[in-house]
Amino acid sequence: TTGIAHKLRLVSKNKITEFYGELSEFENIDTRLFRCHRSFVVNLANIVSIDRTNRLIMFPNKDECNVSRRTMKELLNKMNQ
């Protein structure tokens, strides 16, 4: 999400796109997408590593995003599948 209400930021390998919408619309589009935080929906296929102590997800382009305490266990289960 961005600082503007209902505005989302999509970060891909090649570009960053901003548009209006809701995260709940995107988390159910594909089984590879997972809502790990109230502000983030991530593609499980693009996760490089997970830092459990700091609750961070690392991506190939060195970006990071937060993981909530409540979703950490579910995220680890999905990554092991």
Task: Give me the pLDDT at residue 70, please.
Answer: 95
Task: Give me the pLDDT at residue 55, please.
Answer: 96
- Which domains, ranges and CATH numbers included, belong to the chain? 24-80 (2.40.50.1020)
DSSP structural state of residue 35: E
Query: Can you tell me whether residue 27 is helix, strand or coil?
Result: helix
Task: Give me the pLDDT at residue 26, please.
Answer: 86
Token match 């296929």: residue? Answer: 45
pLDDT by residue for the chain (81 residues), tens only, comes to 888 999 999 998 889 999 999 999 888 899 999 999 999 999 999 999 999 999 999 999 899 999 999 999 999 999 988
